Amino acid sequence: MEEFAALVDALVYTRSRNEKLRLIAEYLRETPDPDRGWALAALTDCLSFAAVKGSTIRNLMMERVDPVLWVLSRDFVGDTAETASLLWPEPEGDVSAPPSVTEAVDSLGRMTRVSVMSELPRLLDRLDANGRFALIKLATGGMRIGVSARLAKTAFGQAFEVAVEDVEEYWHGLQPPYEALFAWAAEGAAPPDSGDVPLFRPFMLAHPLEDAVVDLADYVAEWKWDGIRVQIVHAGGETRLYSRTGDDISGSFPEMAGALTFPAVLDGELLVRGSHQGGETGGAASFNALQQRLGRKTVSARMLVDYPAFVRLYDVLIIEGEDLRERPWNERRARLEALIPRLPPERFDLSAVVEAEHFEHLAEIRASARDDAIEGLMLKRRDSPYVAGRKTGLWYKWKRDPLLVDCVLMYAQRGNGKRSSFYSDYTFGCWDGDPAAGAELLPVGKAYFGFTDEELKQIDRYVRNHTVNRFGPVRETDRSLVFEVAFDSVHASKRHKSGLAMRFPRISRIRWDKPAEEADHIEALRALIRD
């Protein structure tokens, strides 16, 4: 447990992604089974113990410290696990050695709502403050130490020099402590048998097209729909929906569970019925509508009626035991088209191929896509196999040109890592009327990329010389610098005072020359909302 606690502590203070990877990889290499597997499960929030709740910790503390002192401490520290770890009374007399992660997990797993009140203290007594923090976080779930599942998998791949795509594929079928996964990666054993379970397969991804031109004889074009990329899998009588990151989002979309009834792995875009994308015939609502459905644990009947979800299919990876991933796109496409009649039309349709005579013609079609609130085009090599990750030359995404708006820099915040001494995160605003008539700037977005290192230095200097207020790491500027901000789309949002939210805003140009009064009015942005 001490090594795990030290890892958790180091991850809390480390902001660099590479350093996090290094720390996790080192831990995984140096820690024996099954400790490392349990630790991995804890880091990726794959552990839960029915007997231990947030309230359990509070109740334990109430038996040990004055309630007023507890509340004052908890308010100051801001985290129950940390407060408890610091306030836990050090036991008197000799205590046994700290438990291993495995012993802690076994013991937590055996606890009941009743026994937890006496057994959890015995574990806590054997640990120091850092150990107690790690144990409470592990027991109550939700480490929140900036380690995503993807990061953990990447670290695993790095630790044992195996491809992260393979890690993703094998990991999904396994339960903690993943001994078969470690045996495969660390000792070269045969890959874990995925068996008859609805596993996630890593997605094939695309590179941006940039300024390249492709021959439509070799490449086929499809719309890039503005939803979320999903994989729907049916195996062993069960259907699961996975997001781009491999997260199981089936729970948020129960209507999809019964929609696929034969063994298959399909790739597509999750959308909500509507008319914003592709007009009435396209049948998809804007991304904003889909957002109403994302991240929900329970879905009301009303939600299912108001925002009915469906998947627009792009590809087929596996069908009834036959792995098609090595086959060319042409062949997979034919298999996919043949599959459509077997699927319920209210839950699935086919992403149409965009017909164009030549590349210039395609460019014209793409230019007109603005009105349809489509993200752009995909270009796929007709003979491309389905390979995990991004392989050069196979698939390209060709996003429509960004929208542009001139905004005024309002606040700047210091960045992290190598940008830690620079003001690199910017909040900018547009005028809510005529500035000459006393209109104010309303914040409309935040961006922290799109500029070069040299420009960053210039903006940093500008911020320092034009500060009117400081709030911790944030500086308020005198609102004199104009940024040309590029963004993909803009949506209505109740969360922001301006009533709108940009997607993917980034700094496109720094308008050193432009007076702030000539920046855009918020009405110009509102006019671009297509919800």
Partner 1 sequence: MARHSSAMPADFSWIRAEPHGIHIAPAGCWIDPSRPVPRALVTHGHGDHARGGHGETIATPATLAIMELRYATRDGATPVEYGETVRLGGEVDATFIPAGHVLGSAQILLEHAGERVIVTGDYKRRADPTCPPFEVTACDVLVTEATFGLPVFCHPPVEQEIGKLTKALRDHPDRCVLVGAYALGKAQRLIAELRAAGHHAPIYLHGAMERMCQLYEDFGVGLGELRLVADHSKDDLRGAIVVCPPGALNDRWSRRLPEPITAMASGWMRVRQRARQRNVELPLVVSDHADWGELTRTIEEVNPAETWITHGREEALLRWCQLHQRRARALALVGYEDEDD
The sign of the CA dihedral 377, 381, 382, 386 is negative
The yes or no reply on residue 465 touching partner 1 (CB under 8 A) is: no
Q: Which is nearer to partner 1, 71 or 352 (CB)?
A: 71
Span from 78-86, 392-400, 441-449, 483-491 in contact with partner 1 (CB under 8 A): 78-86
65-83: b (≥16 Cβ within 10 Å) or e: beeeebeebbeeeeebbbb
List 20, 137, 153, 224, catalytic entry: 224
* Residue 127 C-beta: closest distance to partner 1, Å: 15
Span from 64-72, 189-197, 340-348, 440-448 in contact with partner 1 (CB under 8 A): 64-72
The yes or no reply on residue 163 touching partner 1 (CB under 8 A) is: no
Among 17, 48, 50, 86, binds partner 1 (CB under 8 A): 86
* Residue 410 C-beta: closest distance to partner 1, Å: 21
The yes or no reply on residue 467 touching partner 1 (CB under 8 A) is: no
Among 45, 58, 73, 149, binds partner 1 (CB under 8 A): 73
The yes or no reply on residue 471 touching partner 1 (CB under 8 A) is: no
* Residue whose token pair is 């005028």: 431
* Residue 10 C-beta: closest distance to partner 1, Å: 9
- Residue list 419-448, contact with partner 1 (CB under 8 A): 420-421
Among 33, 58, 65, 399, binds partner 1 (CB under 8 A): 65
Q: Which is nearer to partner 1, 86 or 367 (CB)?
A: 86
* Residue whose token pair is 């401490």: 73
Q: Which is nearer to partner 1, 398 or 426 (CB)?
A: 426
Helix (H) or strand (E) holding 167: helix 164-171
* Residue 9 C-beta: closest distance to partner 1, Å: 8
* Residue 2 C-beta: closest distance to partner 1, Å: 14
Half-sphere exposure of residue 408: CA atoms within 13 angstroms, side-chain side: 25
The yes or no reply on residue 350 touching partner 1 (CB under 8 A) is: no
450-480: b (≥16 Cβ within 10 Å) or e: bbeeeebeebbebbeebeeeeeeeebbbebe
The partner residues of 310 in beta bridges, in order of sequence, read: 271
Q: Which amino acid, residue 55?
A: S
What gap in Å lies between CA 149 and CA 152, rounded to an integer?
A: 5
Label the pairing between strands 204-205 and 389-390: parallel
What gap in Å lies between CA 356 and CA 161, rounded to an integer?
A: 44
Task: Report CA-CA distances (Å) from 36 to 14, 166, 301.
Answer: 20, 19, 42
The yes or no reply on residue 12 touching partner 1 (CB under 8 A) is: yes
Q: Is 506 exposed, middle or buried (0-12, 13-18, 19+ CB in 10 A)?
A: middle
The yes or no reply on residue 18 touching partner 1 (CB under 8 A) is: no
Q: Is 356 exposed, middle or buried (0-12, 13-18, 19+ CB in 10 A)?
A: middle
What gap in Å lies between CA 155 and CA 498, rounded to an integer?
A: 40
Span from 77-85, 166-174, 354-362, 368-376 in contact with partner 1 (CB under 8 A): 77-85
What gap in Å lies between CA 447 and CA 439, rounded to an integer?
A: 23
The yes or no reply on residue 473 touching partner 1 (CB under 8 A) is: yes
Does 418 qualify as catalytic in the annotation?
no
Q: Which is nearer to partner 1, 68 or 468 (CB)?
A: 68
Peptide bond into 198 cis (omega under 30): no
Contact criterion met (CB below 8 Å) for 239 and 250: yes
* Residue 16 C-beta: closest distance to partner 1, Å: 9
* Residue 447 C-beta: closest distance to partner 1, Å: 21
Task: Report CA-CA distances (Å) from 289 to 281, 303, 502.
Answer: 17, 11, 15
The yes or no reply on residue 338 touching partner 1 (CB under 8 A) is: no
Helix (H) or strand (E) holding 399: strand 395-399
The yes or no reply on residue 151 touching partner 1 (CB under 8 A) is: no
Q: Which is nearer to partner 1, 77 or 304 (CB)?
A: 77
Span from 65-73, 262-270, 499-507, 520-528 in contact with partner 1 (CB under 8 A): 65-73
Contact string 385-424 vs partner 1 (x = CB under 8 A): -----------------------------x-x---xx---
Summary count for the chain: helices (H), strands (E): 19, 23
Q: Which is nearer to partner 1, 69 or 189 (CB)?
A: 69
Q: Which is nearer to partner 1, 82 or 168 (CB)?
A: 82
What gap in Å lies between CA 466 and CA 478, rounded to an integer?
A: 6
* Residue 145 C-beta: closest distance to partner 1, Å: 9
* Residue 8 C-beta: closest distance to partner 1, Å: 10
Question: Which residues are catalytically annotated?
Answer: 224
Interface residue list for partner 1 (CB under 8 A)? 12-15, 65-66, 68-69, 72-73, 76-79, 82-83, 86-87, 129, 414, 416, 420-421, 460, 472-473
